[in-house]
Amino acid sequence: MITNLNNAKAGDLVEVSGMVHNVRVTKWGGFIILRKSRGLLQTVVSNDQCQIYNEQGETVALNDLCREMAVTITGTVGEAKIKDPAAFYKDIEISVSEVRVLSRPSTTEVVDMNALKFGDEETLLRYKFDNRQVTLRNPRDMAILKVASVVSKAFADYLTEQGFTQIYTPKIVSEGAEGGANVFKMDYFGKQVYLAQSPQFYKQIGVGVYERVFEIAPAYRAEKQNTSRHLNEYISLDVEMGFIKGQEDVMHLEAELLRAIISRVATVCEHELNLLGATLPVLPAEVPIWRLSKVHEILFENNLCEQDHRGEDDLAPEEERAICKYALEKFGSDFVFVTHFPSEHRAFYAMDDPEDPTLTLSFDLLMRGLEITSGGQRIHKEEDYRRKMIHRGMNPENFRFYLDTFRNGMPPHGGFAIGLERITACFLGINNVKECSMFPRDINRVAP
Binding site for ligand AMO (CB under 6 A): 178, 198, 200, 221, 223, 230-231, 234, 236, 371-376, 415-419, 421-422, 433
273/417 with CB nearer ligand AMO = 417
CB atoms within 10 A of CB 389: 19
139/176 with CB nearer ligand AMO = 176
29/369 with CB nearer ligand AMO = 369
8/433 with CB nearer ligand AMO = 433
Minimum distance of ligand AMO from residue 246's CB (angstroms): 15
Minimum distance of ligand AMO from residue 170's CB (angstroms): 15
Contact 369, 318 (CB under 8 A): no
Q: What type of residue sits at position 308?
A: D
Give whole-number Cα distances, 401 to 174, 205, 373, 405, 435, in Å.
10, 10, 26, 7, 38
Minimum distance of ligand AMO from residue 63's CB (angstroms): 46
At residue 157's C-alpha, the angle toward residues 171 and 258, to 5°, is 90
Q: What is the CA radius of gyration of the chain?
A: 26
Minimum distance of ligand AMO from residue 158's CB (angstroms): 17
At residue 441's C-alpha, the angle toward residues 281 and 172, to 5°, is 105
Minimum distance of ligand AMO from residue 102's CB (angstroms): 39
Minimum distance of ligand AMO from residue 309's CB (angstroms): 19
198/339 with CB nearer ligand AMO = 198
75/415 with CB nearer ligand AMO = 415
d(CA 34, CA 87): 9
39/415 with CB nearer ligand AMO = 415
288/375 with CB nearer ligand AMO = 375
d(CA 68, CA 18): 9
Minimum distance of ligand AMO from residue 347's CB (angstroms): 7
| Largest distance between two CA atoms of the chain | 84
33/372 with CB nearer ligand AMO = 372
Minimum distance of ligand AMO from residue 212's CB (angstroms): 13
Question: How many C-alpha atoms does 78 have within 13 Å on its Cβ side?
Answer: 15
Minimum distance of ligand AMO from residue 284's CB (angstroms): 21
Q: Closest Cα partner for 335 from 418, 226, 238?
A: 418
Preceding peptide of 139 cis, ω within 30°: no
Contact 409, 350 (CB under 8 A): no
Which residue sits closest to ligand AMO, CB atoms considered?
419
152/198 with CB nearer ligand AMO = 198
Minimum distance of ligand AMO from residue 115's CB (angstroms): 29
